[in-house]
Amino acid sequence: MPGYVQKLRATVRVALAGDPPLDGVFCLAPWSRLHDGPQTLLELLNGGERVLPLELPDDGSVRLLTRAAIEWVAPHSGVDPRLQLPNDRDNAEEPVLVRLHGGAEVEGLLQLERAGEFNRASDYLNKVEDFFAVETRAGLMLVNKQRVREVRVFTSAPLPMIAGTDEASPRSRA
């Protein structure tokens, strides 16, 4: 019988489609399969599990949330940054306005990972992971792409780099 693994607790606010946001706790693994250090909220949300347990601090009950119904997750201000996003990525920021299907808007800086020739917001948002990070005035928000109607970018993206060189590709911007 496997032993119990002590989880790390991250207090969050979660918005579900059609409901007001609620506060709760996600439990994270003390190690990540992808990098040194603990599992992050972004990794939990992109981990592939269809249902995520959220502990409600008011009564200690647990709600099993379907990932597809989560619009966004915002860590509370006291949550350790190591539990929010992996810090071993080559990140860049782009100002964006995200419009969700329910009408809500999220304005802030898209936290995108630039990887070689994939250095535009559209490249990053077309990756397979469902959730992406936006740093807002109120703090970090992890947004579900499945709940997004559109993302407005405010700056021209750099031309993608040709793999293995320092030259820009002739591919169009966007």
127 touches 134 (CB < 8 A):
no
pTM score, whole prediction: 0.84
**Token duo for residue 86:** 């992996």
Q: At CA 101, angle to CA 87 and CA 125, rounded to 5?
A: 35
- pLDDT of the residue at 169: 47
Domain ranges across the chain: 8-76, 91-153
Residues of the chain with pLDDT under 50: 169-174
The residue among 114, 123, 14, 2 whose CA lies nearest residue 74 is 14
Q: How far is CA 158 from CA 35, 106, 161, 166, in A?
A: 28, 23, 9, 13
**Token duo for residue 116:** 């070689």
Query: Per CATH, which fold does 91-153 belong to?
Result: SH3 type barrels. (2.30.30)
- pLDDT of the residue at 90: 67
- pLDDT of the residue at 112: 85
The DSSP output letter for 122 is: H
CATH annotation of 8-76? 2.30.30
* List of long-range contacts for 78-83, beta carbons under 8 Å, 24+ apart: 78/11, 79/10, 79/11, 79/12, 79/41, 80/10, 82/37, 82/38, 82/40, 83/8, 83/10, 83/28, 83/38, 83/39, 83/40, 83/41
- pLDDT of the residue at 158: 57
Residue count of the chain, please give it: 174
**Token duo for residue 154:** 């405010």
Q: How far is CA 83 from CA 28, 32, 124, 129, 132, in A?
A: 8, 10, 21, 18, 15
- pLDDT of the residue at 116: 63
- Rounded Cα–Cα distance for residues 140 and 66 (Å): 21
The residue among 43, 92, 71 whose CA lies nearest residue 146 is 71
- pLDDT of the residue at 72: 98
Name the CA radius of gyration of the chain, rounded: 17
- pLDDT of the residue at 79: 97
